[in-house]
A and B are shown apart, each in its own frame.
Chain A
Amino acid sequence: MSQTTLERVRPAGRPTPGTSGGRPRRRSGWWLLLAPILAFDALLFLTPLGKLVGSSFSDNAYQRVLSDPLVLRSLANTLTISLASTVVTVLLGYVIALVLWRSGTVMRVVLFAVVLLPFWTGILVKNFAWAVLLQDNGVVNSILQAIGLTDHPIELLHNRFAVIVGMVHCLLPYAVFPIFSSLASIDDRLALAARSLGAREISIFRRIILPLSAPGVSAAGLLVFIISTGFFITPVVMGGPGDMMIANQIDYYARQLTDFSGAAALAVVLTVLVSILVAVYQRVLKAGGQHEAL
């Protein structure tokens, strides 16, 4: 009976939905939706990058570039500046993540907004603000002189210290989120149990919270390091001539020397290094059971 009703409702000649007859329409619609992005990325992402890689293999570019002492210096700068920024960022990020983790819902959203403010603000705006604060007659120097630490303005700008300050300020949000999410996944009862067994707060932190948030710390460290290696603006605005990083060297090759194959070779080196780090980062995320990224 019910079968005949169904039969009657279905218009004659139209295939049953869900059987092989109904599928092709869905499948074609789905390809239509993916076509724009695939075409766009093929034309405006893969083609330019492909040309870049292609041009890096001309004129002996890799040998030429990698034997340039300026390049080697900028690679060394990139490594040391990125490492220093990463260590400071992760330390400060851990403090912020702890506070976020311990605060109530509304306070947490407000503090999240505070953390995200530099994330939403452009890098030039942030660097400009730091330049204002750190300049010779800036507020930091005034405070240092007022409390008697120095009787003349200290050079706080156009050196490596300033570059690291500017970079840490940009990088902090990226460190807070992975650390926060690994803290948030810790079972509160662990600390309660430890406390009921007489553990002190310091040892609860050292022996429970710190080890359990370690995956977040390593994810944060890698992410921050990956982002640091590509910094371009901050070394120019806040650093001195000796603080140029690899991105600045690429710019120098491309726009000052107009040596495109050399610039391309450097760009490929940077991209390969970053890609390796990204692969490691994703391993770390998987191992730590975090799924908030990629």
Chain B
Amino acid sequence: MKRSKTTSPRPQGRAQGRALALLSLPVFAFLVIPTAIVVPVALNDSRYITFPPEGVSLAAVQGFFEDHAWTTALSASLQAAAIAVVLGVLLGATAAIGLHGRKFPGQPAVVGLILAPMIVPTVVLALAFYQFFISVGMVGSIIPIGLAHAVIATPYVYLTTRASLAGLNPALVRSAQSLGAGALSILRHVYLPVILPGLVSGALFAFSVSIDETVMSLFMQSPSATTLPVKMFTDIQFNLTPKIAVSSAVLVTVATVGLLLQVIYVLRRRSTARMLPLAV
């Protein structure tokens, strides 16, 4: 009789729950441990890569930031990410607003085109960009790499912006129009407040996509345009060095900050669906 209460817990018994938790513990450990060891490894007081660390020291971090090759790579990565975020936000947001609440023949094709860069394997895009930028004479700088990152980052911004627009009643836009609001003021006062969370989330995704992207940057690399992941990829094939560890720690820190921002956002909005604008 007491069972019929609607507040009754999930449809499995307590013992089963404990068994499941026990079973899942190694799986969660498998997920977390590799990321968790990165920072301790970078702070290890040893010339070799070891885990668990033998002592805490900032020597490797100092070595990283004093090594011109690594700091250049870090700065190249940040430049590419800046291009990708700015272009991705502009293109993704305008596309989402332009398509909001509108139906026209060919619309599925337009949406398909916007999302297509997520589906094409990056190695295929890398090859295509490699050939393309050579043929137009754009090689040896970070700009083509930033543009390539923008191509794969834009769909993420489009999806997060579209998700935040889902709650916007198109009638609001129409009433603003009938009250005499111009296109720019509608963008600023109707659309911008609604899409802002989606834009921020999309910008984070774009940054993360760009800063971690390796394959396209590898194909388009040159001595003056070697990103952090490319430098890591090249070095890692010879040896596991403390500088790779520091570089990994830098990227993990960036990822953790991005993730924490997302968690705060989700806890405030109570919608876990927003954490991952997943399409393929």
Contact = CB atoms under 8 A, between A and B. Distances in A.
Given A173-B276, A237-B233, A45 B131 contact: no
Given A17-B177, A37-B94, A120-B208, A174 B278 contact: yes
Given A33-B97, A119-B276, A237-B236, A45 B38 contact: no
Given A124-B214, A132-B51, A250 B21 contact: no
A167 to B, nearest CB: 13
B115 A232 contact: no
B172 interface: no
Contact of A132 (B11, B102, B240): B240
B113 A96 contact: no
A113 B114 contact: no
Contacts of B125: 48-49
A275 interface: yes
Interface in B84-113: 87, 90-92, 94-95, 97-99, 102, 110, 113
Given A95-B23, A271-B124, 18 more contacts: A26-B177, A37-B92, A41-B114, A44-B148, A102-B20, A114-B31, A117-B35, A118-B31, A121-B251, A125-B252, A133-B34, A169-B34, A204-B12, A230-B121, A230-B123, A233-B233, A247-B121, A278-B280
Interface of A: 17-18, 22, 25-26, 29-34, 36-38, 40-41, 44-49, 51-52, 55, 92, 95-96, 98-99, 101-102, 105-106, 108-133, 135, 137-139, 169, 172-174, 177, 188, 190-192, 195-196, 201, 204-205, 209, 223, 226-227, 229-230, 232-233, 236-237, 247, 250-251, 254-255, 260, 263-264, 267, 270-271, 274-275, 278, 281, 292-294
Interface stretch (B67-75, B193-201, B267-275): B267-275
B208 to A, nearest CB: 6
Contacts of A17: 174, 177-178
B147 interface: yes
Nearest to A96: B27
Given A18-B178, A30-B102, A37-B95, A116 B119 contact: no
Q: Tell which of A32, A38, A48, A119 has the most Cβ of chain B within 10 Å.
A: A48
Contact of B248 (A37, A102, A125, A137): A125
B128 interface: yes
A201 B12 contact: yes
A191 B11 CA distance: 5
Which range contains the number of B residues in contact with the other chain? 35 or more
A48 to B, nearest CB: 4
A130 B51 CA distance: 11
A114 B94 contact: no
15 contacts: A17-B177, A37-B94, A41-B116, A49-B124, A95-B20, A99-B24, A109-B263, A128-B236, A129-B248, A177-B276, A204-B11, A230-B123, A232-B215, A254-B127, A267-B121
B94 A36 contact: yes
Describe A's contact surface by its main secondary structure: helix
B127 A263 contact: yes
A101 B35 CA distance: 24
Given A45-B151, A108-B272, A232-B215, A201 B34 contact: no
B229 A188 contact: no
A260 to B, nearest CB: 6
Given A49-B128, A98-B24, A237-B237, A117 B248 contact: no
Contacts of B272: 108-109, 112
